[in-house]
Amino acid sequence: MIVFRRGTPTRAGYLDSAGAVLDITLLTLTVTDSDDVVVVGPLAMTQSAAVPNVYVSEAVTLLAVGSYLLQWDYDGDSVEIEPAVCSQVPSGDALVGSEIVLPLEQPAGDSWTFDILDQHGSSALGALPVVFDAGKGAYVSDPLTLVEEGLYTVVWLMDVGGFMIPQFMETLSLFMPAGTELCNFLVLTSSAPSEPHSATQLVVMREGVATLTLRTNISGEAHGYLQPGAYTVALLRDGHVFSYNNIAFEVVENETNTVNILVDTLTPTVSPAVPPPEAATLYIRMWRSDATPHVNAPVQVELLASSVLLAGVTVLDRVHTYYTDSNGYTEFTAIQGAKLAVRLPIAGFSRTITVPSGVDAQDPIDLAGLLSQAADDAFDMLVLTNTAAFRRDL
């Protein structure tokens, strides 16, 4: 059965498997409604350039929902009649962008191909092979995807003496759900040459809520239907981490919505867990001269190397700043044996210390004691002095 969408121009195909059409001007199409009233026709036919035995009618636009009959006549004689239906929101045979597997119920042993013709009789995908599936007792195609709405013609061709001869024809109606737009995703690597990210899960979210989940095919493509609006898509693939993720995009009404994602993947390196380096806890309590705590006073700690190896651990970060709480207290941890420059900007001095290790680091260490008594160098105390302003005598 042929499916029409109300108000949408649609062309219908006819297969002349016997090669009886000698004069194309004598082949016409007439459409009648359920009351046997002629709605459209007779309409002229055009020969398909892809499969010469297929003829495509002029566009048919049906304005009333209901059942119809399509009748092809050749030289005044009826050669084929096929039922049709017109719907406001047709379901069709499949959704645009979905994966379709076409079956042909014929016994095994012959060589078959098929071609899918669009509304103009042109080949949509080219001639494609099929293989016999013993479990289904039929020839089946590989999964295929069509991304334009409309009526397609599927022509099955059999090898006869080395020539592919059309044997059967069927229609394939593809439509989109009402109120949605087709969204085409293409996920490729960003580095040249671009390679598709196949078998990648796409989780499409709107305002943080997942609305659609897709999976890319071998070409990195996926297709789905979304209402117009702003979305975010997250990429998921087992064993891979993407170089960036959660990509924002927008679906626009009545437009071709294509989301091209160029992203690389990082394969995580899994290594045996190692114990963390031994650390010591250092603390300081800072007071004012009026016996009140120094609140929010900074304590700057700098590792005296851009990167050092301590107990088999590479330490890369250098500077941390800690702030005292409402009691003038703060604490931090540092790797045992590390050489640190500790600065107290509010007191105007700096000291270089070595973090205690072993039994000396079992309990929290008073940083003030290290700064005043255990500094490595006795001359690194910085005393800030303000130069007196130049005095002029009048």
What domains sit in the chain, N to C, each tagged with a CATH number? 2-175 (2.60.40.10), 181-266 (2.60.40.1120), 279-373 (2.60.40.10)
How far is it, in rounded angstroms, from Cα 233 to Cα 251? 12
How far is it, in rounded angstroms, from Cα 49 to Cα 130? 22
Q: How remote is the C-alpha of 218 from its chain's centroid? A: 14
Per-residue buried b or exposed e for 339-354, using 16+ beta carbons within 10 Å of the residue's own CB: ebbbbbeeeeebbebe
In this prediction, residue 282 carries a pLDDT of 93
Cβ-Cβ contacts under 8 Å for 289 (sequence gap 6 or more): none
pLDDT digits (tens, 9 = 90+) for 221-230: 888 888 888 9
Cβ-Cβ contacts under 8 Å for 235 (sequence gap 6 or more): 187, 197, 200, 201, 202, 242, 245, 247, 261, 263
What residue type is 135 in one-letter code?
G
Neighbours of 201 (CB within 10 A): 14
pLDDT per position in the chain (394 positions), as tens?
788 877 778 888 888 888 888 999 999 999 999 899 999 989 999 888 888 888 988 888 888 888 999 999 999 899 989 998 888 766 666 676 677 888 888 888 889 999 888 878 888 788 888 889 888 888 988 888 777 777 788 888 888 888 888 888 888 887 777 677 878 899 998 877 888 888 888 888 888 888 888 888 888 888 888 888 899 998 888 777 787 788 899 998 877 788 898 888 776 666 666 677 788 999 999 998 898 999 999 999 988 864 555 555 566 667 889 999 999 999 999 888 888 889 998 887 788 888 898 898 889 999 988 887 644 444 454 444 444 555 555 5
Cβ-Cβ contacts under 8 Å for 343 (sequence gap 6 or more): 299, 300, 301, 302, 349, 350
Residue of 259, 12, 4 lying closest to 149 (CA atoms): 4
Q: End-to-end alpha-carbon separation of the chain, Å?
A: 111
Neighbours of 362 (CB within 10 A): 10
Q: How remote is the C-alpha of 116 from its chain's centroid? A: 28
Neighbours of 368 (CB within 10 A): 14
